[in-house]
């Protein structure tokens, strides 16, 4: 995988000099006067340019005291020969310490730190005291040093555990099922490196973590490996990513491996652990400087320039990582770290046939304003309603994305319920629309054996939302939702699946009991019906009801009249 950091050309002693003779100036700038240096009277003067001073003149002088502009290479080529010799990377670094730079990037280690960090401070002190040799960007005295750092505890083992034929088949599964949605890997390069890795040319350890993540996810969605081998892959990647000797140098490959781990943990683990995993990814993005893709940044090579042209793979990695973090934090109700919206909304050309990554990014970008809405106000409600409309109107062409769109819409619906919105202001029909489209998608994914994380959760949450809406249209859709949930649960037959179905039925019974109380209260008001007979009293309602498509046949009276009656459930 390519490194996103390329060294920019810096000024050197070979820069051409004009060789002109300096003329005495009528007025010297303040920095030159304080240091008793010769000044050429220009703004900025060459002396301030060479030493990185803030060039300014006394008030009333011909030169107004404003900040000096950053010199370009063209202007630096006109420096006198003496200053041109000073134009080494360090002297260029002195020139480029303007406060507008967000931080310092060390390309050789792919490391970014803010200007205010303790690691960068010795460098800035060196600039201020005009040190001939600037301190490197280093964690000086970060701890006492009484213990040595432990060595790397992991080795290359994946090629010994899995034959190449098995690996190649799993890569094909990943390419067909996961890569279309999470398209951040260059699969051609990845496949070529895998061939080398499995045929006597070991790649680095971060690549081994990527390979382990790819094979584990492919096995999860296709079942090619037994669970013991699949778990070995997951733990092997985790061991690599958490090894201190490897993680001390963050890289794009480590971010890619963490993304794969986060997807797997979302499909198999707990919400808190999943959220922490995505937070780690976002911290790695910050550590490598990818969160400032469009800003000016000071580089230790002595350049202040826009970030180098980054590749499609790099931007997609940042996009997928950001989307994954937002989705997981949004559904779990946890805080979302600062993201670069420009990166999230970057329109990239398709890298492969059936590329669906832009559709996923557009869905997540639509809900981003809602994730930061914290106050209950009319403006917040309008913003949330607008986001819901955007999500509903985005067209997607994959079953997983249909479920994801429903997840986001349900998340917005839950957010609306806790704002100061009145129940009648919530567009239930829009939520029902995207939820209804997700039901057949869940059925298809289960039938195909594609066990994405939301094949149960989306249907279950949709059923809960329908019960909370408590309208005739939501009750009609509830039958289809429960039927789909039963189908998914019967197909998977896992503890979590059965637990979700049992909980949904329990909530449906509570809703039915609530409606029964309302009917009984109304009957006491209006009295017995003149056409009623004593036969109904001989058939009491069964206590243990199971909600199914044939629910209305379990009762001696028409349930449609009950479903048509709207009773608002307590929040």
pLDDT, tens digit (0-9, with 9 covering 90-100), for 304-360: 444 444 578 888 899 999 999 999 999 998 888 887 777 777 766 666 678 999 999
Residues 398 and 448: their CA atoms lie apart, in Å, by 13
Q: Give the pLDDT score at 271.
A: 94
Q: What is the pLDDT of residues 251-260, one digit of tens each?
A: 999 999 999 9
For residue 302, is pLDDT > 70? no
More confident residue, 407 or 537: 407
Worst-scoring range by mean pLDDT, 41-55, 60-74, 452-466? 60-74
Q: Give the pLDDT score at 343.
A: 72
For residue 237, is pLDDT > 60? yes
* Closest C-alpha to 310, from 204, 184, 417: 184
Secondary structure class of 380 (helix, strand, coil):
helix
Which pLDDT band, with edges at 50, 70 and 90, does 109 fall under?
A: low
Q: Give the pLDDT score at 548.
A: 47
Helices (H), 199-350: 205-222, 227-241, 244-247, 252-268, 271-287, 312-332, 341-344
Q: Give the pLDDT score at 67.
A: 41
Q: Give the pLDDT score at 108.
A: 61
For residue 1, is pLDDT > 70? no
Q: What is the pLDDT of residues 151-186, one digit of tens each?
A: 888 888 899 999 999 999 999 999 999 999 999 999
Nearest 5 degrees, angle CA 308-CA 310-CA 312? 165
Residues 6+ apart with CB under 8 A from 357: 180, 181, 182, 183, 184, 316, 319, 320, 348
Q: What is the pLDDT of residues 193-231, one digit of tens each?
A: 999 999 999 999 999 999 999 999 999 998 778 999 999
Q: Give the pLDDT score at 323.
A: 94
* Closest C-alpha to 355, from 180, 175, 176: 180
Q: What is the mean predicted confidence (pLDDT) over 489-505?
A: 95
Q: Give the pLDDT score at 136.
A: 81
Q: Give the pLDDT score at 281.
A: 96
Q: What is the pLDDT of residues 263-288, one digit of tens each?
A: 999 999 999 999 999 999 999 998 88
Q: In degrees rounded to 5, what are phi and psi of residue 286? A: -65, -40
Residues 108 and 7: their CA atoms lie apart, in Å, by 9
Which pLDDT band, with edges at 50, 70 and 90, does 128 fall under?
A: confident
Q: Give the pLDDT score at 485.
A: 97
Q: What is the pLDDT of residues 330-344, one digit of tens each?
A: 999 888 888 777 777
**What is the pTM assigned to this prediction?**
0.72
Place of tokens 């039925």: 505
- The answer to whether 119 touches 287, Cβ cutoff 8 Å, is no
Q: What is the mean predicted confidence (pLDDT) over 141-155?
A: 84
Q: Give the pLDDT score at 134.
A: 82
Q: Give the pLDDT score at 102.
A: 62
Q: Give the pLDDT score at 107.
A: 64
- The answer to whether 210 touches 257, Cβ cutoff 8 Å, is yes
Q: Give the pLDDT score at 127.
A: 81
Secondary structure class of 248 (helix, strand, coil):
coil
Q: Give the pLDDT score at 156.
A: 82
For residue 8, is pLDDT > 80? no
Q: Give the pLDDT score at 13.
A: 35
Residues 6+ apart with CB under 8 A from 477: 432, 435, 436, 466
């Amino acid at each position: 995988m390519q490194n996103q950091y390329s060294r920019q050309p810096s000024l050197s002693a070979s820069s051409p000099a004009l060789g002109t003779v300096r003329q005495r100036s009528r007025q010297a700038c303040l920095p030159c006067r304080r240091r008793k240096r010769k000044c050429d009277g220009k703004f900025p003067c060459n002396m301030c340019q060479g030493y990185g001073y803030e060039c300014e003149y006394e008030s009333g002088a011909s030169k107004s005291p404003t900040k000096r502009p950053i010199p370009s290479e063209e202007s630096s080529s006109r420096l006198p020969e003496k200053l041109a010799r000073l134009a080494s990377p360090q002297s260029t670094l002195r020139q480029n310490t303007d406060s507008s730079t967000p931080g310092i990037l060390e390309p050789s280690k792919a490391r970014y730190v803010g200007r205010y960090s303790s690691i960068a401070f010795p460098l800035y002190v060196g600039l201020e005291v005009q040190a001939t040799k600037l301190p490197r960007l280093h964690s000086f005295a970060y701890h006492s040093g009484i213990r040595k750092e432990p060595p790397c505890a992991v080795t290359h083992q994946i090629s010994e555990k899995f034959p190449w034929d098995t690996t190649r088949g799993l890569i094909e599964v990943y390419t067909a099922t996961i890569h279309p949605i999470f398209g951040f890997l260059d699969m051609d390069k990845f496949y070529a490196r895998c061939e080398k890795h499995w045929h006597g040319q070991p790649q680095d350890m971060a690549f081994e973590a990527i390979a382990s993540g790819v094979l584990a996810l492919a096995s999860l969605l296709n079942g090619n490996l037994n669970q013991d081998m699949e778990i070995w892959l997951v733990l092997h990647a985790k061991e690599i990513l958490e090894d201190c000797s490897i993680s001390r140098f963050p890289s794009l490959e480590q971010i890619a491996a963490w993304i794969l781990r986060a997807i797997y943990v979302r499909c198999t683990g707990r919400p808190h652990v999943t959220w922490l995993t995505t937070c780690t990814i976002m911290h790695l993005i910050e550590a490598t400087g990818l969160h400032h893709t469009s800003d000016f940044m000071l580089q230790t090579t002595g350049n202040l320039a826009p970030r180098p042209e980054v590749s499609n793979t790099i931007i997609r990695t940042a996009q997928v990582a950001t989307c994954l973090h937002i989705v997981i934090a949004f559904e779990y109700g946890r805080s979302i770290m600062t993201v670069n919206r420009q990166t999230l909304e970057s329109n990239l050309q398709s890298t492969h046939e059936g590329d669906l990554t832009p559709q996923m990014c557009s869905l997540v970008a639509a809900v981003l304003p809602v994730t930061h809405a914290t106050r209950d106000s009319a403006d917040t409600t309008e913003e949330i309603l607008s986001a819901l409309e955007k999500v509903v109107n985005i067209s997607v062409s994959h079953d997983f994305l249909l479920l994801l769109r429903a997840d986001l819409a349900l998340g917005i619906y839950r957010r609306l319920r806790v704002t100061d919105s009145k129940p009648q202001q919530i567009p239930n029909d829009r939520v029902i629309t995207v939820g209804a489209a997700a039901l057949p998608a869940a059925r298809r994914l289960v039938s195909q054996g594609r066990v994405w994380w939301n094949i149960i959760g989306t249907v279950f949450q949709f059923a809960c939302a329908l019960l909370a809406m408590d309208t005739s249209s939501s009750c009609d859709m509830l039958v289809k939702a429960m039927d789909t949930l039963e189908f998914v649960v019967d197909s998977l037959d896992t503890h979590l699946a059965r637990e979700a179905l049992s909980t949904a039925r329990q909530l449906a019974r509570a809703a039915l009991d609530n409606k029964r109380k309302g009917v009984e209260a109304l009957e006491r008001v209006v009295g017995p019906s003149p056409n009623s007979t004593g036969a109904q009293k001989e058939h009491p309602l069964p206590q243990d009801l199971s909600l199914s498509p044939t629910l209305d046949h379990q009762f001696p009276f028409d349930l449609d009249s009950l479903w048509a009656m709207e009773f608002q459930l307590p929040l």
